[in-house]
A and B are shown apart, each in its own frame.
Chain A
Amino acid sequence: MNAPVDPAVLADPHRQPATAAPDPAARAARQAQVVAALRGVLPSHALLHHREDTVPYECDGLTAYRALPLAVALPETEAQVAAVLKACHAIGVPVVARGAGTGLSGGAMPHDMGLVLSLAKFNKIVKLDPFSRTAVVQCGVRNLAISEAAAPHGLYYAPDPSSQIACTIGGNVAENSGGVHCLKYGLTVHNVLRVRGFTAEGEPVEFGSEALDAAGLDLLAVVIGSEGMLAVTTEVTVKLTPKPQLARCIMASFGDIRDAGNAVAAVIAAGIIPAGLEMMDKPMTAAVEDFVHAGYDLDAAAILLCESDGTPEEVEEEIGRMLAVLEGCGATRLQVSETEAQRLKFWSGRKNAFPASGRISPDYMCMDSTIPRKRLADILIAIAEMEKKYDLRCCNVFHAGDGNLHPLILFDANDPDQLHRCELFGADILETSVALGGTVTGEHGVGVEKLSSMCVQFSPAEREQMFGVKRAFDAAGTLNPGKVIPTLHRCAEYGRMHVKKGLLPFPELERF
């Protein structure tokens, strides 16, 4: 039962989860040890370790990657969180914090020799102060719940990821989530003042403050978007924004994808920062129209949604300027929302792009790279080529204003060859994005999904520097080990595989 286990081996911070199945006997012994240690600090109902109880935690929104944790802890108080972390740190057990599990990169995928720390019970709004336009919320509060609570005061929380009905603020902090309005209103990092949480050792810590800055290095900026690798967040102070009096949306059709891409750049070049600027290609439009029946133009090669918000006078002025630019860029059809209901209808398809894709294909994989806006048409044309190369369909939705792409590759996971081709297709999109001057992830995070693509974007020295950041916060590598930064070994393996298959896109382009 109590077989000696070498924690240094089992909790190797660089070991990728589930790459090699651990020895069942050693795993069982380790599980018994972890459960015994946590029983001392958690009530029995807050600790799960039977397979049937832990299976629901085996993946997050990225269901293609799964691992069963040794146990799941569901603490109810900060003191319990601290105690769980202390206990895990003492015996070298990896800890993977989890909110609603809506993440799309496997950031909350369990470690097969670790603990899942579910923070679902931290779901209270601690304080909402309209005078200071801030809310102090526990990490498990849903993104949309903050805006709903703030609405009676004419305020809202600006970042609005598509999963906002379900995703939690703690997860938003981990991923630095964006949304359709972040060109004008910023990302999570621009809308969070303070994060309270615990270090890997279980010590309470606060990053940022309720003032606009804090003493010393801006650790808040690096904790936001760190994917649960640096600290465990339990409480967040967010900024609330006054709700604009009015929002109106233009729906513009384009007969050519290149015209649509150019229109995006032209709107920005005209000195306009739209509240939202989104693009859908023809296959995506067809899929969402079939789902929401919003009256989208099915003949258009691409549709742009371009939103203006502010005072009624301001919106009228801006809509006029936007229409002129879009028309000048060759829009074939222009419609402006006349009512709030119509505006929401315009958005309904865009907001339902993922479920709509789920209806037309058994599975889909959502990519998340960002490119300079001016390369939008180039990447769309490259993706069209890839559809032929990998013999898979792809629908495209973009946060065009930010250059953030969400190609949805359609496949059937029951066919191993399709899954394999889908992975190659995805990696190809990411690497092409890097080659075009972009990044492998705009808002979904690296998690486990994009580890290999990180090898393409960062040099060994840059990755080693990131490991240094990790060690500064979590010297033992307890928190979410194996995610975000690929090891030298993994990148070497990836490089070999790649060259062999000759899949490197744009071989003529320099890669740093």
Chain B
Amino acid sequence: MADVALDSLIDRVRAARADKTPLAITGGGTKAFYGGPVRGTPLDVRPLAGISSYEPSELVVTVRAGTPLATLEAALAEQGQCLPFEPPRFGAASTVGGMVAAGLAGPARAAVGGVRDYVLGATLLNGKAEILSFGGQVMKNVAGYDVSRLLAGSLGVLGVLCEVSLKVLPVPVASATLRFELDQAAALKQLNTWGGQPLPVNASAWWDGMLVLRLSGAAAAVQSARRRLGGEPVDDALAAGFWQGLRDQTDEFFIGAHKAVEAGATLWRLSVPQTAPALALPGEQLLEWGGGQRWVVTTAAAATLREAATRVGGHASAFRGGAADDAFAPLAAPLLRIHQGLKDAFDPDRIFNPGRLYPGL
């Protein structure tokens, strides 16, 4: 990995460490809204770009962090493969590093796993300006602590992601989308009942009295599930547009949410057990992940959302809008101590993305 782009990043980190100036790690900047306020001099990782290796029969791609996500997805699509967790693209400039650092996954998350489930290895530039590699390019690897998965969703507070190896999978052979008119409680019951059966359910969304379900897998499995589940089939092109809109948050619900946020509301992401009952909260709700992810647009106080999520065993994040230093649910004392300890271990001078995940971290 010795090259100009990397050497320049190392020099920048060394200098920042010497004069203790914080760095704000950036890629395409499409998720700058997410998390605490970005403080520090921008450190652009986009010069670190390119697919380092990709062998479809190994189901592994190794890619540099500044590579546009679109470039990676196009290369995978050429080989009939994909990132099954459907990371959201909040703009054309989204990078692979940003995808891993934010750790956000799309509609298929509940069925196929999240970003961390596909991270096999990572190269990190830590706060001591050291280049470190963890994990690898193989499916099974328990040599040492699984630091590479820890980086997924770390929002850059442990270091600069330089390169990641990701597990990829073949694009499912077939898929079908069905619609069901159901209220929220009935939709949750139905989703959890189907969840216990060997059905190829890949994604779900409930909003405004309508449950939309995506099946995907082998053609035979999708066909037989379709017959069994009933519902109203949705035209393939229409369905593809719907799921893409949901994934990239450009569909009707999210357009409304973004407008409300501009007017002072907050878009909350509640991550709760899939069987949590319908939550009585002021504002509009959209449910994904078989009930496990609930989007709420509301002007209600943070405490209301946090309490509602905690009561059912989940947590609430202010996804867009909301108080600057209060994006994520507070941590229990021992967990906070471990977070501080990890920060000290990876970034002793606290130069990377201070405050992005939690104040003081």
Contact = CB atoms under 8 A, between A and B. Distances in A.
A469 B342 contact: yes
B142 to A, nearest CB: 5
A132 B335 contact: no
B275 A131 contact: yes
Contact of A374 (B57, B126, B342): B57
A317 B274 contact: no
B271 interface: yes
Nearest to A130: B196
Interface in B278-307: 289, 292-293
A475 B332 CA distance: 18
B54 interface: no
Interface string A225-269: 110011000000000001111000000000000000000011011
A206 B332 contact: yes
Interface string A478-502: 0000001100000000000000000
A345 interface: no
B17 to A, nearest CB: 15
Given A212-B271, A216-B339, A219-B150, A268 B57 contact: yes
B144 A446 contact: yes
Contacts of B224: 311, 313
B217 A314 contact: yes
A199 interface: yes
Contact of B220 (A209, A242, A244, A317): A317
Interface residues of B, number: 87
Contacts of B195: 133, 242
A215 B196 contact: no
A416 B54 CA distance: 45
Interface in A203-218: 203-207, 209-218
The bracket for how many chain A residues form the interface is 35 or more
B142 A469 contact: no
B345 interface: yes
A221 B142 contact: no
Contacts of A446: 142-144
A371 B342 contact: no
A212 B271 CA distance: 7
Contact of B218 (A204, A206, A310): A310
A176 B142 contact: yes
Contact of A439 (B110, B138, B217): B138
Interface in B205-229: 217-221, 223-224
Interface in A387-438: 399, 402-404, 437-438
A468 B137 CA distance: 24
A443 interface: yes
A292 to B, nearest CB: 26
Interface centre among B153, B218, B219, B341 (most CB of A within 10 A): B218
8 contacts: A205-B332, A209-B314, A216-B357, A266-B57, A311-B198, A442-B142, A459-B133, A462-B132
